[in-house]
Amino acid sequence: MKKFLDFFESIVKTLITLVLIVVIIALVVNAIYPLGYRDEIEKNSNSMEISPYLVMALINIESKFDKNAVSDKGAMGLMQIKPDTAEWIAENMGMPYQHMSDLVTPAINIRMGCWYLNYLMKEYKDVNYALAAYNAGMGNLDEWIKNGLEIKEGDYSNIPFSETRHYIRKIRSQAKTYETLDKIYARKNEFFTYGIEAFNWVKSFVKDKVNK
C-alpha cells in the first residue's frame, strides 16, 4: 500500500507541475503576444481583405495594444495613426472624424488603420512594401523605389532605414505566431477534454487500487 501511495503522490506532483508549467507559459505568451479588440480586428480586416494576424502583429509592434499610446511623433492609438493622416483617411473613406481624440477610440482607430493598410497593399501590390510605407511613409518609400529599391521576401537588408527593416521583419514573424496561437486557442476545448479524460483515468486507477 505504501508503494502505491508513493506512486500516486508522484503522479499528483507531476500533474501539478505540468499545470503550473502550462499556466506560466500562458502568462509569458500573453505578455509577449497580447491580444485585445479581437472582434474589431476581425471585422475590419475581413472587410478590407487583409490578414487579421497581420493587423494583430502590427498593433502589438505599434502600441502593445495600448489604445492611449502616443508616439514622440504624434501618432496615436492602437495602430499609431497621425492626426493629419487620420484626416486624409477619413476624407477618402467618407467617415466622420471630429477630432484627434477620436484616434484613442479602438473602433475608429482600427477601422482607419485597416483601411490605410489595405490602401497601401493596393498601391504597392506587396505586403512588405505596404509595411515599409506604413512605417517610413509613402514619400520615403517612393523615393527609395525611384532609386532602385527592391524588397525581396525575407530579405530586407537593402531598405535604407534600419527601423523599417526591423519593423517589417518583426511584424511578419509575429503575424505567423499569432496565427499559430489562434489555432491552438481554437483547440482549447479539445485540450480541456484531454485533461478531463486524464483526470478521470487517474481517479479510476486510484479507485481500482484502493478496492484491491
Point out the residues that are catalytic. Answer: 62
- Gap between the Cα atoms of 88 and 103, Å rounded: 13
**Residues of the chain by 3-state class (helix, strand, coil), percent to 5:** 75, 0, 25
67: closest CA among 113, 103, 35?
103
Could you give phi then psi for residue 195, rounded to 5 degrees?
A: -65, -45
* Distant-in-sequence, close-in-space partners of 170: CB < 8 Å, separation ≥ 6: 57, 61
Please answer whether residues 120 and 133 qualify as being in contact, where contact means their C-beta atoms are separated by less than 8 angstroms: yes
As a whole number of Å, the end-to-end CA separation of the chain is 10
Contact 77, 114 (CB under 8 A): no
